[in-house]
Amino acid sequence: NAGVTQTPKFQVLKTGQSMTLQCAQDMNHEYMSWYRQDPGMGLRLIHYSVGAGITDQGEVPNGYNVSRSTTEDFPLRLLSAAPSQTSVYFCASSYSVLAGGRDTQYFGPGTRLTVL
């Protein structure tokens, strides 16, 4: 298994540009989520999905859009990038069932985004 993969690893955008951060997992996990990590702020939840076709907002959803058309993929869209969205973005996934520790969240390697 490749686990949780994210692309790209690095991205530089200009203010106002749009882009999509890709996240995929091959573990048949139902739950997927996006976090952003800023210095001294820990990780903050942006959006999450409890299964294909179902998404919901986290703590800091403004300026981001998500969709979940398949179990494997959970892309994060920046509609009009702003300097405040400069951050490291992590995707995570976990099983849906609390059984034998199967709800562990597995994180991807991250995407480092800079908005000029």
Partner 1 sequence: GENVEQHPSTLSVQEGDSAVIKCTYSDSASNYFPWYKQELGKGPQLIIDIRSNVGEKKDQRIAVTLNKTAKHFSLHITETQPEDSAVYFCAASKSSGGSNYKLTFGKGTLLTVNP
What is the C-alpha end-to-end distance of the chain, expressed in Å?
A: 36
Contact with partner 1 (CB under 8 A): which of 18, 28, 80, 96? Answer: 96
* Under rule CB under 8 A, residue 97 binds partner 1: yes
Contact with partner 1 (CB under 8 A): which of 58, 61, 63, 75? Answer: 58
* Under rule CB under 8 A, residue 87 binds partner 1: no
Q: What angle do CA 94, 96, 100 make, to 5 degrees?
A: 85
Q: Other C-beta atoms within 10 Å of 81: how many?
A: 21
Token pair, residue 22, equals 């890709």
Q: Minimum CB separation from partner 1 for residue 3, in Å? A: 10
Q: Are 96 and 51 in contact (CB under 8 A)?
A: yes
* Under rule CB under 8 A, residue 40 binds partner 1: yes
Residues in touch with partner 1 (CB under 8 A): 4, 30-31, 33, 35, 40-45, 48, 50, 58-59, 90, 94-98, 101, 103-110
